[in-house]
Amino acid sequence: MLATRTAIRVLGFALFVAVVVLLPSRLSDFRASEFALIGIYFIAILGLNVLTGYTGVISLGHGAFMAVGAYTTAILMLGRPGLEAGGLSPPGWLPVGDGMKDVYTIPIAALVAAFAGALFGLPALRLSGPYLALATFGVAVATPSVIRKFDTVTGGSGGLNLFDSPNLTGAIFNAVHVPGGRTLTFNDWLYYLTWGVALGLFVVAWGIHHSRLGRSLRAIRDNEIAAVASGVGLAWHKTLAFSLSALYAGAAGSLLAISAFSVQPGAFPLDRSIALLVGLAVGGLGSLAPLVAGAAFLVFLPQWAQEISQAPGVPGVIYGAVLIALMIVLPTGVGGLLRRVLGPLTSRLYPRSQ
């Protein structure tokens, strides 16, 4: 019986992969870049889900970890020669390298963000509930200012331009050569890069979900005292959740830097952190694949609101109204809806006792 359930999951994942692989052939070049953006948000929301969905810790500061990832990628891509050519003078002790291909910077950016997450997690986890949320909020508020402060390496408010860097794989109108003799447009390349990373991290998130770690985190969310009584180390697990979550945000930030071929402090305002939480709520806390819907919501709803009217204030009101309506109709997000609709169907395939 367990085999049936696993088979359904594998089938579902295979379908997911097939859609991701085949989609660009049905999309215009520009749309592919939009779907790449959805992939980026998907990664960040998956990460936030580890923290908020499983562990029950609300973070209003994940934009900050995206910024860490984005700046790590940008600085490594430019390297010392690139930064100095841009009129900057990175401090000598900082290992910025001599320029690195964009793809290789992604795992480094993710790890640096994970480290930042752990650093922040250690002291902050003494706080609980809304107090911790407020501390993360503070991080989000301070991020752009902190970036401006270290302008010898971050480029200050003007940011860093990656478009002219030789380490950006393919400029906009050049084809990107990929293994197997095929060529892709820049937007399709972005799409596959983003979704490649997203699917990999999705599998990891799925692994966390079904592992001992995932169960421990959910135990913390449901009842901290009971969790501790069952032998779950609170500080360690929360810090680990923070770190893992920041790792995802860092990978997303890194991809955002590549996709926007630049980084600026203005790209990581408070709104960005709040948007991630909105995407998570729309996708469904604790869900996995349905979080794609949350990511799509973040990309498409503001556009649709704008198409309806550009009159002062109207797009914002539409966005807010749709969000409120959605939360009334789908209080558990798209994930909750799918569980309600698909649950009775798939559960017929195996006995309830499972």
Partner 1 sequence: MVLTLALAAGAASARPAADPGVTGSEIVIGGTIPLSGIAQSYASVGRGAEAYFKHVNARGGVFGRRITYKYLDDQYNPAQTVQATRQLVQQERVFAIFNTLGTEQNLAVRSFLNAAKVPQLFAGSGATTFGRDYRRYPYTIGFLPSYVGEGKVYARHILRSKPNAKIAVLHQNDDYGRDLLSGFRAGLGAKRRNIVATQSYDPLSTDVSSQVARLRSSRATVFMVIATPPFAIRGLVAANRLGWRPQVYVNQVGAATNIMRIIAATANPRTIQNAITLISVKDPTSPRFRNDAGMRLYRQIMRQQLPGGHVDDGFHVYSMAVAHTFVEALRKAGRNPTRASLLRAVASLNIRNNPFLLPGVHVRTSARDRFPLDQGQLQRWRNNTWNPLGKVISARP
Least distance CB 226 / partner 1 (angstroms): 33
Least distance CB 315 / partner 1 (angstroms): 6
262 binds partner 1 (CB under 8 A): yes
Supply 43's token pair.
Answer: 């990664």
121 binds partner 1 (CB under 8 A): no
Q: Binding pattern to partner 1, positions 137-176, x when CB under 8 A?
A: ----x--xx--x-------xxxx-x-xx------xxx---
- Whichever of 186 and 242 has its CB closer to partner 1, that residue is 186
346 binds partner 1 (CB under 8 A): no
Would residue 133 be called left, alpha or beta, if left means φ above 0 and alpha means ψ between -120 and 50 degrees?
Answer: alpha
Q: Measured between alpha carbons, how far is residue 301 from residues 29, 60, 124, 214, 284 in Å?
A: 20, 21, 33, 32, 17
Stretch that binds partner 1, among 43-51, 213-221, 227-235, 256-264 (CB under 8 A): 256-264
- Whichever of 220 and 301 has its CB closer to partner 1, that residue is 301
- Whichever of 62 and 272 has its CB closer to partner 1, that residue is 272
- Whichever of 74 and 232 has its CB closer to partner 1, that residue is 74
Least distance CB 41 / partner 1 (angstroms): 12
Judge contact between 50 and 114, C-beta under 8 A.
no
Stretch that binds partner 1, among 26-34, 106-114, 198-206, 207-215 (CB under 8 A): 26-34
What is the distance between the alpha carbons of residues 35 and 67, in angstroms, rounded to a whole number? 21
Would residue 59 be called left, alpha or beta, if left means φ above 0 and alpha means ψ between -120 and 50 degrees?
Answer: beta
Secondary structure letter of residue 60 according to DSSP: S
Supply 290's token pair.
Answer: 């349905």
Supply 191's token pair.
Answer: 């799409």
- Whichever of 56 and 102 has its CB closer to partner 1, that residue is 102
Secondary structure letter of residue 175 according to DSSP: P
Ranges within 178-237 binding partner 1 (CB under 8 A):
187
Identify the residue among 296, 298, 301, 333 touching partner 1 (CB under 8 A). Answer: 296
Identify the residue among 8, 9, 23, 107 touching partner 1 (CB under 8 A). Answer: 23
Q: Which helix (H) or strand (E) holds 184?
A: strand 182-184
Least distance CB 114 / partner 1 (angstroms): 22
Identify the residue among 166, 316, 331, 343 touching partner 1 (CB under 8 A). Answer: 316
Those residues with Cβ within 8 angstroms of residue 312's Cβ, 6 or more apart along the chain or in another chain? none
Phi, psi of 262 (to 5 degrees): -170, 160
Least distance CB 291 / partner 1 (angstroms): 9
Helical pair 29-48 and 270-283, crossing angle rounded to 10 deg: 80
Secondary structure letter of residue 179 according to DSSP: T
Secondary structure letter of residue 160 according to DSSP: E
What is the distance between the alpha carbons of residues 285 and 53, in angstroms, rounded to a whole number? 5
Least distance CB 178 / partner 1 (angstroms): 20
- Whichever of 106 and 227 has its CB closer to partner 1, that residue is 106
Radius of gyration of the chain (CA): 21
Q: Which residue ranges make up the site for partner 1 (CB under 8 A)? A: 15-16, 19, 23, 26-31, 33-35, 37, 141, 144-145, 148, 156-159, 161, 163-164, 171-173, 187, 256, 259-262, 264, 266-267, 269, 271-272, 289-290, 292-293, 296, 300, 302, 306, 310, 312-313, 315-316, 334
